[in-house]
Amino acid sequence: MPVKRWRALSLLAMLALVTAGCSGGSSPAASAQQSPTFTPANPSTTVVPATPSSAGTPGAIVATESEWKIQLSNDTVSSGENTFRINNAGTQEHEFVVIRTDVAADKLPVENGEVTLDASGLSAIGKKQGIAAGQTVDLPLTLTTGTYVLICNIPGHYQQGMNVELTVR
């Protein structure tokens, strides 16, 4: 069937374009010029690139730690795979602990300057410790819908303000 064959050729051409685009070798424009007569045989064969959505995109959340706060690039993210990019912009070592809880960020139970996790039924779903001043580390986590509190749990740091809330939708 001529139509089917044309579709197959179109797909091959699309693949070639995609491959060329990914390799970074030749630009899509250059490829298009090499085959000026190319037109998709059918709209259904056209590869539609995924549209990047803006707000709430699963992906990177930048968390900047310093004395004495944690600032987030966004306070709401979509559920699923997310990566915290933790930047210690302070002058002291810090930690980054992710807790899923409905308790307000600054109302977690504290003992000896530290948030009591297991004893209070709170569990850290992920953490990074020993983040040196100036260091940036990534913490990939799968987040389910809910409210989270992110803290630094080095004694005294939480109470001095190193806590922030994150909503996962």
Q: Give the binding site for Cu ion (CB under 5 A).
A: 94, 152, 154, 157, 162
The least CB distance from residue 15 to Cu ion, in Å, is: 50
The least CB distance from residue 72 to Cu ion, in Å, is: 15
Nearer to Cu ion, 99 or 152 (CB): 152
Residue given tokens 């980054």 in the structure block: 96
CA distances from 166 to 56, 64, 75, 169 (A): 12, 14, 5, 10
The least CB distance from residue 128 to Cu ion, in Å, is: 11
**Residue 139 token pair:** 């913490």
Nearer to Cu ion, 94 or 100 (CB): 94
**Residue 92 token pair:** 């002291």
Q: Say which amino acid occupies 5.
A: R
The least CB distance from residue 155 to Cu ion, in Å, is: 9
Nearer to Cu ion, 7 or 127 (CB): 127
Give the integer Cα–Cα distance in Å for 141 and 87. 16
How many CB atoms lie under 10 A from the CB of residue 97? 23
Q: What proportions of the chain, in percent to the nearest 5, are helix, strand and coil?
A: 20, 35, 45
The least CB distance from residue 148 to Cu ion, in Å, is: 18
Residue given tokens 């990019």 in the structure block: 85
Nearer to Cu ion, 150 or 168 (CB): 150
Nearer to Cu ion, 41 or 99 (CB): 99
